[in-house]
Amino acid sequence: MSTEKNPPPRRRRPSTAVSSTPPSCDTCDGTGETTTPIRVGRRRREIGAKQTGLCPACLGSGTA
């Protein structure tokens, strides 16, 4: 009485994903930083200085 073994099941290959780069953020143009004019006083007048900070749309990553 010989018992035949079934061959092991075939393993599926992981699908090869197309490596595309994510689009850059429109708000910061892909830099991750935005500039905002500084405003002072009760009437909120601009003084001509700029302040940089993280982009609120992409949180500094530069990608959308």
- Cβ contacts of 47 within 8 Å, gap of 6 or more: 38, 39, 40
User: Residue 1 has what pLDDT?
Assistant: 59
Taking only the tens place, the pLDDT of each residue in 42-62 is 999 999 999 999 998 888 888
**pLDDT at position 40, please?**
94
Output the pTM of the full model: 0.51
Cβ partners under 8 Å of residue 34, min gap 6: 27, 28, 52, 53, 54, 55, 56
- Beta strands 45-54; 33-40: pairing state: antiparallel
- Is residue 12's pLDDT more than 80? yes
The answer to whether 63 touches 30, Cβ cutoff 8 Å, is yes
The residues, any chain, with a CB within 8 Å of residue 57's CB and separated by 6 or more, are: 25, 26, 27, 28, 64
Give yes or no for residue 15 having a pLDDT over 70.
yes
- What's the pLDDT at 37? 94
